[in-house]
Amino acid sequence: MHTIASWRRLLAEFLGTALLVTAVVGSGIMASRLSPNDVGLQLLENSVATAFALSALILTFGPISGAHFNPVVSAADWFLGRRTGTGLPGRDLAGYAAAQTTGAIAGSVLANLMFDLAPVTFASKERSAGNLWLGEIVATAGLLLLIFALGRSGRAAVAPAAVGAYIGAAYWFTSSTSFANPAVTIGRAFTDTFAGIAPASVPGFVIAQLAGLLIGVGLLLAFYPDAGRSADDIVVAHPIDQAAHRP
């Protein structure tokens, strides 16, 4: 098991998720100001910024916490690794989810403040429809397949670029613009801007993401029955904290 102190890993998950949501929300605000009459261009600007930011954040925080930034990734990591003693320990799962969710809310607040908006402006954009929920199921299951397939095949080193590319692409090929993350979904309810989602729409998205989690894990077990053996490499392999072994 990894020996990096728990508080360091939780701080990394909090800060990484916060900065991810700051990038999502902030780039959405900037896009709507720079291209006020072109929604397609706004989405392009938002998706490119998000993809680049996510890749950079995985590189930054991956060696500390694994850079999950997402409760469904943490839950899948715990579930797949529980039989082999790898991956995220069960005792840390709730802590990761809490750090990710509070970080996501903080990220929206930070983005609002940077663009001279009220710290909390609850979103009014309704995103509630069956086709959007289907998009979230597809986006979430695909994300899990990508992440764990990379770990299982020994290619975790390319995860930052691959995950960033997937999320950037999924903005465009899913009807929901690929939230694929319960924590980020909750955080985006705290900003009434381009990237916002009305609080009333959050439960439907989260339920769809949990369905994507179940489908994604099921497919992983079908394709890679021993996927749990590489759970320690999700998203980026955690190094052993050498200081913990010094006399």
pLDDT single digits (tens) 8-25? 999 999 999 999 999 999
**What would the mean pLDDT of 93-100 be, rounded to a whole number?**
97
Whether 233 is covered by a domain: the verdict is: no
For residue 237, is it within any domain?
no
| pLDDT value of position 237 | 60
Percentage, residues of the chain above pLDDT 70:
95
Helix 90-114 vs helix 71-81: angle between axes, to the nearest 10 degrees? 170
Task: Give the count of domains, the chain.
Answer: 1
Classify residue 242: in a domain, yes or no. Answer: no
Where residue 211 sits, what CATH number does that domain have? 1.20.1080.10
Q: Which two tokens stand for residue 12?
A: 């990394």
Mean of the pLDDT values across residues 162-189?
98
Q: Is residue 152 part of a domain?
A: yes
Question: How far is residue 178's CA from residue 227's CA, in Å, rounded to a whole number?
Answer: 24
Residue 244 has pLDDT above 70, yes or no: no
Mean pLDDT of 214-232: 88
The distance from CA 13 to its chain's CA centroid, rounded to whole angstroms, is 10
Contact 113, 22 (CB under 8 A): no
pLDDT tier, 204 (very low <50, low <70, confident <90, very high otherwise):
very high
Mean pLDDT of the chain: 92
Q: Is 145's pLDDT higher than 90?
A: yes
- Residue 32: inside a domain, yes or no? yes
Could you tell me the residue range of the domain that residue 145 belongs to?
6-226
Got the DSSP string for 38-100?
A: -HHHHHHHHHHHHHHHHHHHHHHHHHHH----SHHHHHHHHHHHTTTT-SS-HHHHHHHHHHH
Q: State the distance between the two ends of the chain, measured CA to CA, in whole angstroms.
A: 19
**21 within domain boundaries:** yes
* pTM across the whole model: 0.92
